[in-house]
Amino acid sequence: VSHFAARLPHEVGTSLKPVTSRLSGLTTRIKVDITAALRSTKGTPGDLLGLLGLATAVGVYWVLRYQGQWAESDSGLMAQAIRVVADSTKLAPDALGVYSNGYGYQAVSLAITAFTGLRIETLQQIVYPVVSAILVLPAWTLYRELTGSRKAATWATLLLLLVPEHLFAVLRASHERLDRVFLMTALWLLIRGLRFRGDPSRSAIHTVLVLLMIYALVATNVLFGMSFVAALVTALILSWIAQRGPVGVRAMAIQTTSLFRWVSAAAALIVVAFVLFLYAPFGATLRLMVEIPGKLLALIVSGGAGFDPYAYVQTGWVSPIAFLVLTSMNIVLLVTSALIWIGLAFRWLRGSRPATSGIWILWLLYSAFALQGAASIASDQTGSLSGNVQLRAFAVFATVAAPLVAVVLSRWRPRPVLRKATSLAIGLTIVLALAKASLEPALANTWLFYSQAEIQALRWADGQQPDATIWVGPDERVVAAYAMEVGDPTFTYRLLAYKPPVDVDAVLVSDLVRLQSVRLGIPVPPLGSKNLLYDNGEVQIYR
Amino acid sequence: MSSFALGALAFAVRSSAVLQGQAIPPLSTEAAIVLGIAVALAAVIASRLLRR
């Protein structure tokens, strides 16, 4: 305001002086209020301790549910990828089993095993799920920056811990927990940096740290890095449009256009440099991605049924109703956040201003990640990238949907009866979220657990039947378990799952395999013409 | 009230596992206790926030 007044002709400047002085005082007061609110730590330790305790209990439950003997395909794949980096002593080895989308998770995991002496499978199955509780810290910090409120930040983090897709993503042994840390920290630094625009040194430090976090995200998983760049570009386009839109948002839109312009350009450069010059193994994924538009076009032109990404709801759970009940938090979060997003848009269209720049940025990021969710629905029809992009996109989307709902929820002060009922409902929602995330076998037909007897049988086959292809069950459960515990990639590729081929060499049978075959409707291959080669009391191998 | 709900859940899961031929690992007491702690913590955090 003072800068503007100084540029006016002397007479005009003098007559406007009382007005500019009052405006200047007002902006200073607002600045002081917001800074004081963000700096205040009243109630913070209690909030954070509670959330950390809850996240730790969630991680410990995940480990205890199957006594640490759990695996799923990506977790097994990442365990193998860590071993490949360790064996080759290269971050990007040209070897079977290399992880094609980045090296960050393998590098961090190897560093931890080197410092602590932990075995890779112990780190993956027992330590990581519990340590993931720390994710609460960057989440809460980001949410406080976005909402400008500690209470809303606590609500948002609590809501996030109730989302089963988020829990599955960060509890399983994959790169996604690191992706979230880097994503949240990059966003927090980016938004926090806005407060230091008049301070070149602090602003420069924030810029460097933002770029460092983006590089870490890209190096851990290029696909998530690309998703982040796409979200930044979408937010930039929306900001640019909003500059010409309603009066109430124009000033903030100018600010965010400038912010997203430089950060999206820098992030895009990092992705291009990483893909083209730094990490050659990504070529395989890139070729798959290039095929998606062509496949989609072919589907639209031919009108074929394509891949059905929703088929697992029928086969993967004891009933669609069980699936719906367990995913109820996803639905509640999706619907309420969408309503709030629409409500804010209407309010701003009528001339209101966003309460803070954080809320405006949150609205933009929500729009960007929601758009990616919509795009993933189309992508999954092609079956590319395992046909589960929607699930992965939703887990990321939840990180921006939760604070949007929290902003409204933090203003709600119900009567005692309603307060108790809501608290109880939230407590019980964690049961549903954990049952869904850990694929509770009473409800799910695809399982995370396995038995040591199954691994023991495969170790025997590894030595005694090295040339045989072995059918190990109606889904990838045992393949993932072997990859997690043993992890020789050349052997894993001889393990067959799903519908058995007619000419399969050998068949592994256990009570678990038989039960799961019944559940999934994929019968065990006929054993009449095969000989029993191995029996450890629980598991048999026929050939 | 939440203890009752938790007890019911543990019973349901354990019964279900027994019914399915004991191949599925039932919910252990340790896991049930930790789940109870998670439920209680979530409810307490929510209650504190709604009171503030």
Contact between chains at A61 and B35 (C-beta distance less than 8 A): yes
- CA–CA separation, A102 and A156 (whole Å): 30
- CA–CA separation, A411 and A417 (whole Å): 17
pLDDT in tens, A489-522: 676 678 999 998 888 899 999 999 999 999 999 9
Q: Which of A143-147, A313-317, A325-329 has the lowest mean pLDDT?
A: A313-317
- Identify any residues that bridge with A532 across adjacent strands, giving them in sequence order: A542
Q: What is the pLDDT of residue A1?
A: 44
Contact between chains at A429 and B42 (C-beta distance less than 8 A): yes
B12: chain A residues, CB-CB within 8 Å:
442
- CA–CA separation, A195 and A87 (whole Å): 46
- Quick check: B26 and B13 in contact, CB under 8 A? yes
List the single residue in A with minimal CA-CA distance to B33. A61
Please give, rounded to a whole number of angstroms, the shortest distance from the CA of B10 to a CA of chain A: 11
Kindly state the average pLDDT of the residues B35-42: 96
pLDDT in tens, A440-483: 998 999 999 999 999 999 999 988 988 899 999 999 999 999 99
pLDDT in tens, A336-365: 999 999 999 999 999 899 999 999 999 999
Q: Is A419 exposed, middle or buried (0-12, 13-18, 19+ CB in 10 A)?
A: middle
Helix (H) or strand (E) holding A298: helix A283-302
Give the CA dihedral A289, A294, A295, A301, nearest 10 degrees.
160
Q: Is the minimum CB–CB distance between A427 and chain B shorter than 8 Å?
A: yes
- CA–CA separation, A464 and A313 (whole Å): 39
Q: For chain A, positions 9-48, list CB contacts with chain B under 8 A.
A: 43, 46-47
Chain-centroid distance, C-alpha A390: 11
- Residue B6 has which token pair? 């938790």
pTM of the model: 0.87
In degrees, rounded to 5, the angle at the alpha carbon of residue A388 between the alpha carbons of residues A383 and A394 is: 140
Longest dimension (CA), chain B: 49
Radius of gyration of the CA atoms of chain B, in A: 14
Taking the CB of residue A150, how many other CB atoms lie within 10 A of it? 22
